[in-house]
Amino acid sequence: MASVGQLVAGVAHELNNPIGFISSNVSTLADFVQRLRGMLDTYQETRLPEADHARVEARRQELKLDYALKYLDPMISGIREGAERTRKIVGDLRVFTRTSDDVWQPVDLHEELDSSLTLLNHLLKDRITVVRKYGSLAPMECVRSEIDQVFLNVLANAAQAITGPGTITIETRQDGPMAVVEIADTGSGIAPAALARIFDPFFTTKTVGEGTGLGLSISYEIITKHGGEIRAQNLPAGGALFALRLPLVRALASGPATAG
């Protein structure tokens, strides 16, 4: 895992340079386009002899200038949005850059949930609707990368449990000194025999090659290390619910932070 973290950190660092170049230049490009559009408008308003006007208008039609001008602004906006989304994905890759230097720190769990959803977009896009019911929640003292890994594992599990279109609902709230995060899906639910073993190492209901059976067991260990608990249950209307309860303040019994 440390080697993967170093590789991802290096790739993320290298990607930051071209992303920064695109982001800084797209604003300049938008400014230059506005200047050129203004000059074209001035030319358009200038009175020309009839023959010259006809020649200029014919050239304008030949180059499909109006069509090009119509789509320039949306194209620039798309470039800007793409650069920002790429920058966010690169930032979210910190999930995989865990090292022995991880420290306990106050973290906004809502931001971490959103980061995990960004990384799982390939599983959700055009298929699964995500409903966020974020309540008032104080920052939680934790090892950020480990909590990110838990969210990534549980959300990926929920997405994979839905075979067609469906919904994942994330609800958060504060219950006294505890942060509560509930992730529900509209999948087929968990077989009763599997429900009792779902957090066991190497236990998986997926076919060979689709899963190692370690994601939920690692999540269980991380949650336990943080002094919390994670439970799974089937919902009466179908699907499954994973409920996480975590102390907002680090419990002294948690021990030193280490890379899991």
* Average pLDDT for the chain: 83
Which of 14-23, 126-135, 198-207, 217-226 has the lowest average pLDDT? Answer: 198-207
Q: Is pLDDT at 33 greater than 60 in this prediction?
A: yes
Q: Is pLDDT at 257 greater than 50 in this prediction?
A: no
- Assign 199 a pLDDT band (cuts: 50, 70, 90): confident
> DSSP for 31-44?
HHHHHHHHHHHHHH
Q: Considering only CA atoms, which of 211, 220, 225 is closest in space to residue 259?
A: 225
**C-beta of residue 157 within 8 angstroms of C-beta of residue 196:** no
**C-beta of residue 4 within 8 angstroms of C-beta of residue 96:** yes
**Rounded Cα gap, residues 5 and 96, in angstroms:** 5
pLDDT given at position 195? 84
Q: Is pLDDT at 246 greater than 90 in this prediction?
A: yes
Tokens of 89: 């994905």
pLDDT given at position 114? 93
pLDDT given at position 19? 80
**Rounded Cα gap, residues 243 and 250, in angstroms:** 19
pLDDT given at position 90? 72
* Triad 165, 170, 171: Cα angle to 5°: 145
Pick 127 or 6 by higher pLDDT.
Answer: 127
**C-beta of residue 159 within 8 angstroms of C-beta of residue 187:** no
pLDDT given at position 196? 80
pTM for the complete prediction? 0.62
pLDDT given at position 213? 46
**Rounded Cα gap, residues 109 and 226, in angstroms:** 14
**Rounded Cα gap, residues 164 and 62, in angstroms:** 48
Q: Is pLDDT at 258 greater than 60 in this prediction?
A: no
pLDDT given at position 236? 93
- Assign 253 a pLDDT band (cuts: 50, 70, 90): very low
pLDDT given at position 194? 84
Instruction: Give the tens place of pLDDT for each residue, 87-135.
Output: 777 766 665 555 555 689 999 999 999 988 988 888 888 899 999 999 9
Q: Is pLDDT at 70 greater than 60 in this prediction?
A: yes
Q: Is pLDDT at 2 greater than 70 in this prediction?
A: no
**Rounded Cα gap, residues 1 and 11, in angstroms:** 15
Q: DSSP assignment, residue 139?
A: -
Instruction: Give the tens place of pLDDT for each residue, 12-32.
Output: 667 777 887 787 788 888 889
Q: Is pLDDT at 252 greater than 80 in this prediction?
A: no
